Amino acid sequence: MHKPIIETERLTFAYHDGNPVLEDVTLSILHNDSVGIIGPNGAGKSTLLMTFNGLLRGAGEVKIDGEPLSKENLREVRRKVGWIAQDSDDQLFMPTLFDDVAFGPLNLGLADDEVRRRADEALALVGLSALANRPPHHLSGGEKKAAAIATVLSMRPAVILMDEPTNNLDHAARRSLIEFLKALPVTKVVASHDLEMILELCRRVVLLEKGRVAADGPARDILGDSALLRAHRLEPPLSIALRR
């Protein structure tokens, strides 16, 4: 039986204006699961993801692999729980793609040969080995997204958190990314408005509304409930709607 890798207990978070963005969120995400976080704009999806690896800290508790997240273990948590931002340019800042992918392992203090091994492996996994020496700003949108994933894979995480991973991708790049993510043997937590992608990629869906969990269950059950989705200003994926 799979054990939880991420757990939250009554997690609450507010930005500087004091208005809560998350309220009493209690969740458990299992090892090797794939979970979609959905909801209307302002529901707290991105904020929730950022609490999972300590980018944001609120009230309540977050546990990673059974250990409460704290200042003392933040470095290890961020190695184990990788974050892929909505804008790939936020993660690509070195002179070459190889330098970006090697940056994380280098900062772990690993030996040079191990850094190179990890960077080469991550680039090969996302199909960008041939572009290792290219400046990141010369990459296409799809290549940048794959590159951002490689920067996380080089850390060998147990969990990948993704915020709108298909945003601004053309059809071919989106399809390539979905197929790659489906085959990736790690826990995946994806926040997105792309409900077709969520349906295809995720086993489970958590629906947020105003920072609270409004529904939580198998992806096909949640995404197939048109009344539930429309009550939260969402539309069912077209592939489900067309079957009716």
With H, G, I as helix, E, B as strand and everything else as coil, classify residue 200: helix
User: Can you tell me the distance from the alpha carbon of 126 to that of 128, in angstroms, rounded to the nearest whole number?
Assistant: 6
User: How many residues appear in the chain?
Assistant: 244
- Say which DSSP state 43 is in: S
User: Can you tell me the distance from the alpha carbon of 94 to that of 214, in angstroms, rounded to the nearest whole number?
Assistant: 41
Amino acid at 46: S
pLDDT value at residue 244: 57
Long-range contacts of range 209-212, CB-CB < 8 Å, 24 or more positions apart?
209/39, 209/40, 209/43, 210/23, 210/42, 210/43, 210/44, 211/13, 211/20, 211/21, 211/22, 211/23, 211/25, 211/43, 211/44, 211/47, 212/22, 212/23, 212/24, 212/25
Amino acid at 27: L
Q: Tell me the mean pLDDT per 10 residues along the chain, length 244.
A: 89 91 97 97 95 94 95 92 91 95 93 96 94 94 92 95 92 91 94 96 97 97 96 91 62
Of 223, 161, 160, nearest in space to 193 by CA = 223
Q: What tens digit of pLDDT does each residue of 55-81 get?
A: 999 999 999 999 999 999 998 999 999
User: Can you tell me the distance from the alpha carbon of 191 to that of 3, in angstroms, rounded to the nearest whole number?
Assistant: 22
CATH of 4-241 among 3.40.50.300, 3.40.50.80, 3.40.50.2300, 3.30.9.10: 3.40.50.300
User: Can you tell me the distance from the alpha carbon of 49 to that of 85, in angstroms, rounded to the nearest whole number?
Assistant: 10
pLDDT value at residue 17: 83
With H, G, I as helix, E, B as strand and everything else as coil, classify residue 29: strand
Report domain extents, the chain: 4-241
Those residues with Cβ within 8 angstroms of residue 30's Cβ, 6 or more apart along the chain or in another chain: 2, 3, 4, 5, 187
- Say which DSSP state 217 is in: E
Note the pTM of the prediction, 2 decimals.
0.93
To the nearest 10 degrees (0 to 180), the angle between helices 141-153 and 171-183 is: 20
Is-contact 145 177, C-beta < 8 A?
yes
How are beta strands 67-68 and 59-64 bridged, if at all? antiparallel
pLDDT value at residue 192: 96
pLDDT value at residue 243: 64
Give the chain's end-to-end CA distance (angstroms, integer): 35
